[in-house]
Amino acid sequence: MILKSTRLIVSLAAAIVMTAWLAVSTRAEIPAVAADVTETAPIPLDQIPKGITDAINAPDRPAEDKALDAGRKPDQIMAFYEIKPGMKVADIFAGGGYMTELIARVVGPTGKVYSQNGPFPEQFKKIGDAWGERLKEPALKNVVAVSRPYDSPDLLPVEPGSLDAVIIHLNYHDMVGFKLNRENVNQAVFKSLRPGGIYGIVDHSAKPGTGDTETTTLHRIDEQFLIKDVEKTGFKLMAASKALRHPEDDRTWNVFKKRGETDRFMLKFVKAPRIAAADSWTSMR
């Protein structure tokens, strides 16, 4: 009887160990966004602020932009980053200005948008021309064009602590791949944001553990690499959304061949005030 009880205990112990090992193994294959941050579900459509919906559906918004909306889900992005009328927001590495225009329409005439691009090499001149033409539109009267290189000491022409949010949409991997001075960019963003201001980054996800190795080949970036890169400046990851996730993407696609279908992460960092000597971020969670 004692022998049977001993065998039973050993079997149960082995089962517990195996279960724990499987759990750890599973987490290793699909790492959490961060130890204390879990991705949230997409925001229900009936909870998207009307101002965001109206901006997206504006009749004078370019048809070519609207054609991208189904894949890019700008309603989720604007709502997740809490973009509202009257805010001051910067769009870093704005490209042709798709995101700049959306932000400008949401913040409205009482807000302001700083649309930043660096110098355009000859092969990207058409993008620069499109950006310039877009900024002439009446709906973008509240936009300030910023043409400054990424290593500029005054990258954003604003007073320190004056911006409510800064967004980089699908281009952080390019800053890494092109070896631009992203440390200067992150420091400039940190300096320009008010305490509690949001630094929002959306990008194409690479396989975990690949770091920055796929930024110029597949135009993707390892999410954990990016998080560590941004937090070095003093930001803290506060939230993440699964609204742009695509589980069917095995993360080997070149993003230009699968526009709007790639697996993308949406991260919300915050410039949080440090708390006393303990330097704790707990109350900001």
In tens, the pLDDT along 9-66 reads 434 444 433 333 333 333 333 445 666 789 999 999 999 999 999 999 999 999 999 9
C-alpha 265/C-alpha 224 separation (Å) is 11
DSSP run (H or E) holding 269: strand 264-270
The stretch 171-185 carries a mean pLDDT of 96
Give the pLDDT mean for 177-197: 97
- Distances in Å between the Cα of 197 and the Cα atoms of 4, 91, 166 are 63, 14, 8
Strand 88-91's sheet: what is its strand order? 39-40, 236-241, 264-270, 193-204, 163-169, 88-91, 112-117, 143-147
Assess whether pLDDT exceeds 70 at residue 161: yes
> Could you tell me the pTM of the whole model?
0.84
Pairing state between β 264-270 and 236-241: antiparallel
CATH topology of domain 37-284: Rossmann fold (3.40.50)
